[in-house]
Structure 1
Amino acid sequence: MDFAENNFITLLKSFTGKEINEFEKFVNSPFFNNQNSLIEILRELILHYPEFSSNNFTKKKIFSAAFPEKKFNDVLFRKYISNLMKLAEDYLVCKDILVNEEKRVISLLDQFDNKNLTPFFERQLTKIEKNKELNKKITVETFYFKHFREELKAGYYIKINKIYEIKSCLIRSQVYVLLHLLMSNIVYANMMLIVKKTFKNSENNNYFDEFNEAFDLIGYLEKISDLDENEKMFIALCRIDHLISKDPYNLNNLKDMKTLILRMSDVLSDNLLYTFFSHLNIYYLLNLSLNSIDLTKDFFENYKFMVERGLYDRKGNEFINYTEYRTILNYAVRLKELDWLENFIFRFKDKHEDDIKDSLNKYSLALLNFERKNYEVSLKYLSQIKVSEVIMKLDVDILMLLIYYELDYIENALSLIDSMRHFLSDEKHFSNTVKDNHHNFLKYYRILLMNKNNPKLQVLVNLKIEIINCTNLRRKYWLLEKIKV
């Protein structure tokens, strides 16, 4: 295996420049590392950051540079790299605790409790409970850590013989467990909704529906009287999210959910704000599939808010998943926001998974050039794409069909239609909804194609009516644009 593909090197590549500097100091610390050999090896390795790909980047050359007087020993070198990997893992754990204030203070309380340092425990607990900023923000882990805080308080009261004080701790501890469970339930149920819509083997999975029928978590939590305002708002947001998941087509609920998310935008952590906006966007998409065209701009504004607010920035590293990225591409195109789209493509060009980064960037530029009517340029980008991801293959093929239509490449289009039909029939993972979506497009596209140069008026009139009434169809707006009747 190429040394550049070693797990430790892969991990180093993911580090920012600041993290590389911090890690070097970490390895130099005698508290964490007592092997000078590791310091020498790391010093040579980071000279090759961030590419780790020059001709001098081999195990032998790194070893020789670190230890000029020693003969290369592969077993010893692998041991050094293994030890550095362990140190890198320790660094990440330490860094996480230091930057996560909730996690840090609970860990500190636990340590004071274990060492029977009661005055230290009391001071730290008072400090935490007076910290308005810490108690105001709701993160993915807030309720989880507050549960542990209440448990530690209960143990503290028992230790100082004030058992009569533990009642509220025990109740609050359980309430926080339920709030954390509510958060998980809402998030997981929404994820399952996506999976059920997309993949065949999940279509009949009703676990979360059955759970929510058996346990009315929201109803129970709403009856608790001593919740703070942010906790009450959070429960209200979860309730409306749950209601919309059962009936996504109630537009008043959709509007109320967006209002509540924006109202809580300074209360929810960026991670949770992203999560609830993602849920909202899924519900918008379900409505848009039923021809709620008036929601298109509002839906796209949600994504613009998410991009401009930096919700795709995870602790200094921007990343956007393929599904969301392609949704933003498609709706920017639909609304002709091409200048914004160009900036968006450039901003995120290095923010994708490595195995699809090059293909996704080429597809994005192909789509942008297609919309600007640079069909030959678009086709050139598509021809350079090596597709391994099945959803992207469908995206590339659909765009190829649109270009063939515009350039009047009839035979190429017919051949690709046939190829796509076979691919969809053979693909076992797609749900029937996804397959029907593409089969419908191919059916209507073929009729449109065959009537492009010799149009039959009645055929096109009937086609337009069918397309308008079809609720499961890709590129619906493009098909309708091409029917000139």
Structure 2
Amino acid sequence: MENSRLVRYIQDFGPKQREKFRQFVISPYFNQHQKTIELLEIILKEIDKSKPKLGKVNVHRRLFPKSDYDEQQLHNVMSYLKRLYYRFLSVHHFEQQNFREEVITLEAAYENNQFDVLKNRGKQLEKQLKRHGYRDSDYFQADYRLHKLLGYYMAHYEDRSKSHVFQNMLEKDVESLGPVQREDLYGFASNYCIRQINLGQDEFRRELFQLYKQGLRIGLIMQNGMLSEWNYKNITALGCSLKEYEWTENFIQEYKDMLPSHRRENAYNYNLAHLYYNKKQYSEALSVLLLVQFTDVKYHLNTSFLLLRTYFALKDTEALLSLIDTFRIYVIRNRKITTDQKRGYTNFLRFAKKLVLIRHQAPAYSRQTVEEKLVDLAKKVESTSNVINKYWILEECGVETGVKVG
């Protein structure tokens, strides 16, 4: 046993490290196995002797004086002590790292909803970082993890006005961060804005728009120099909702060539049509929409919905009713659309048809009767749980809505 790795490991320790290891092993938090403690005491007493009595039989007899020699029994105790040795090395190394304990304390406080600890210790760590003499890897790692953690806390639990840390970093410091940290920071901020918009906080639309513009400027939205068709669509839709028509048209044209080649023409035509529709250039929107090919379910559904709104704006009742019928058949027969989605679309088309007929028949009724019919339709839409694009029907019925973003 005196030639075992475990004994050599302990022998390599200096006096101070041996004592620290002993304190570690006798700590009931790390070890509650008495025989392991006894084995370490035997090793420490014998290890520096000229003829240490660390033979297996001798050590076993001292550990288990009333038992016959059992090598497996001794091996088990040695294995327990060796595991403690490895754990001691990791804890000792951990204690030597700048800011590591402080950061993990904050992360644990966040996970356990101990927000007073998070805020209080977070301020203390900020002070430590300011006093730190070097801007080394320890500093930057701790600073990043601290502000990422505080940012998530503020987004979930604090008022928006307090989340200034990430806003200052996005405006001034983001370009000094590495690619991964930039993407994390940008993703956090944009997702936060989207979540607030979907909760009815429309003022975040402008902030999200500015984030998109910044993301385009420094390449955060692109991947390998390419822009996804769905980011292209989201940015166009947001720009139109803010009536930033000139910027949006420039964006559509400028970033067309950065779209994936096999999706480029469809994405370009669909989004250009979306812009024309919002600018009330309905004939132009219709001309471009007819160029969109139904290469997949999403383009078929999105284009059909935009086409329906365009026909409605043009007051082309015959084309509208025909489209609603073909749209409904497509939804019902398509196997790639889930049952829940089918219900949402068929509900939408049912209400859309009622809306079209109310407007078509409006000349035959008084203004009050038409308004009553629209109010009644809006109530039915509101009371139906699964209606895709219900916001459009409610708007056309005269009900103000907040549109969610994706």
Q: TM-score, normalised by structure 1?
A: 0.47
What CA distance in whole angstroms lies between the structure 1 residues aligned with 2:159 and 2:335? 34
Counterparts in 2 of 1:345 and 1:262: CA distance versus 1, 3 Å: same
Residue number in structure 2 paired with 1:306: 215
Q: CA deviation at 1:472?
A: 8.0
Structure 2 gap segments, 5+ residues each? 1-88, 133-137, 363-369, 400-406
How does 1:259-274 map onto structure 2 within 5 Å? 259-262=168-171, 264-270=173-179, 272-274=181-183
What CA distance in whole angstroms lies between the structure 2 residues aligned with 1:472 and 1:284? 25
Q: Tell me, yes or no, if structure 1 residue 238 matches structure 2 residue 148.
A: yes
| Structure whose alpha-carbon radius of gyration is higher | 2
How does 1:444-459 map onto structure 2 within 5 Å? 444-455=351-362, 456-459=370-373
Out of 461, 479, 483, the position equivalent to 2:375 is 461
Residue number in structure 2 paired with 1:482: 396
Contact 1:289 1:471 in 2 (8 A): no
What CA distance in whole angstroms lies between the structure 1 residues aligned with 2:294 and 2:308? 16
What CA distance in whole angstroms lies between the structure 2 residues aligned with 1:397 and 1:424? 11
Percent of counterpart pairs with the same letter? 21
What CA distance in whole angstroms lies between the structure 1 residues aligned with 2:182 and 2:339? 29
Measured on the aligned residues, the alpha-carbon RMSD in Å equals 4.6
Residue number in structure 2 paired with 1:152: none
Out of 200, 203, 222, the position equivalent to 1:294 is 203
What CA distance in whole angstroms lies between the structure 2 residues aligned with 1:279 and 1:437? 30
Q: CA deviation at 1:350?
A: 0.8
Contact 1:312 1:318 in 2 (8 A): no
Residue number in structure 1 paired with 2:257: 350
Residues 111-163 of structure 1 deviation map (CA, whole Å, 9 limit, x = unaligned): xxxxxxxxxxxxxxxxxxxxxxxxxxxxxxxxxxxxxxxxxxxxxxxxxxxxx
Deviation larger for 350-359 or 406-415: 406-415
Matched position secondary structure for 1:266: helix
Residue number in structure 1 paired with 2:289: 382
Q: CA deviation at 1:467?
A: 6.5
Counterparts in 2 of 1:465 and 1:251: CA distance versus 1, 3 Å: farther
Q: CA deviation at 1:336?
A: 1.2
What CA distance in whole angstroms lies between the structure 2 residues aligned with 1:273 and 1:265? 6
Contact 2:147 2:165 in 1 (8 A): no
Residues 294-314 of structure 1 deviation map (CA, whole Å, 9 limit, x = unaligned): 322222222122223343455
Residue number in structure 2 paired with 1:208: none
Which amino acid is 2:375 matched to?
Answer: V
Matched position secondary structure for 1:364: helix
Q: CA deviation at 1:328?
A: 0.8
Matched position secondary structure for 1:385: coil
Contact 1:319 1:348 in 2 (8 A): no
Contact 2:236 2:271 in 1 (8 A): yes
Which amino acid is 2:211 matched to?
Answer: N
Q: CA deviation at 1:442?
A: 3.6
Matched position secondary structure for 1:451: helix
Which amino acid is 2:372 matched to?
Answer: Q
Matched position secondary structure for 2:280: coil
Residue number in structure 1 paired with 2:18: none
Which amino acid is 2:236 matched to?
Answer: L
Q: Tell me, yes or no, if structure 1 residue 400 matches structure 2 residue 307.
A: yes
Residues 59-79 of structure 1 deviation map (CA, whole Å, 9 limit, x = unaligned): xxxxxxxxxxxxxxxxxxxxx
What CA distance in whole angstroms lies between the structure 1 residues aligned with 2:342 and 2:286? 25
Matched position secondary structure for 1:350: helix
Contact 2:240 2:278 in 1 (8 A): yes
Q: CA deviation at 1:397?
A: 1.2
Residues 173-232 of structure 1 deviation map (CA, whole Å, 9 limit, x = unaligned): 9969x99xx9xxxxxxxxxxxxxxxxxxxxxxxxxxxxx78xxxx98x979878955433
What CA distance in whole angstroms lies between the structure 2 residues aligned with 1:427 and 1:449? 28
Residue number in structure 2 paired with 1:276: 185
Deviation larger for 231-240 or 291-300: 231-240
Out of 319, 324, 339, the position equivalent to 2:226 is 319
Q: CA deviation at 1:171?
A: 6.0
Q: TM-score, normalised by structure 2?
A: 0.55
Residues 256-313 of structure 1 deviation map (CA, whole Å, 9 limit, x = unaligned): 6545544541342355424432333233323323332232222222212222334345
Which amino acid is 2:210 matched to?
Answer: E
Matched position secondary structure for 2:199: coil
Counterparts in 2 of 1:253 and 1:390: CA distance versus 1, 3 Å: farther
Which amino acid is 2:296 matched to?
Answer: E
Q: CA deviation at 1:360?
A: 0.8
Residues 364-397 of structure 1 deviation map (CA, whole Å, 9 limit, x = unaligned): 2222222233323222222222222322222211
Contact 1:244 1:283 in 2 (8 A): no
Which amino acid is 2:174 matched to?
Answer: S
Query: How many correspondences in the alignment?
Result: 284
Out of 311, 331, 347, the position equivalent to 2:238 is 331
Contact 1:244 1:250 in 2 (8 A): yes
Q: CA deviation at 1:428?
A: 4.6
Which amino acid is 2:310 matched to?
Answer: I
How does 1:96-107 map onto structure 2 within 5 Å? none
Contact 1:248 1:287 in 2 (8 A): no
Bigger relative CO (Cα 8 Å, ≥ 6 apart): 1
Residue number in structure 1 paired with 2:275: 368
What CA distance in whole angstroms lies between the structure 1 residues aligned with 2:154 and 2:347? 28
Counterparts in 2 of 1:299 and 1:441: CA distance versus 1, 3 Å: farther
What CA distance in whole angstroms lies between the structure 1 residues aligned with 2:179 and 2:383? 39
Counterparts in 2 of 1:235 and 1:457: CA distance versus 1, 3 Å: same
Counterparts in 2 of 1:459 and 1:299: CA distance versus 1, 3 Å: farther
Contact 2:166 2:185 in 1 (8 A): no
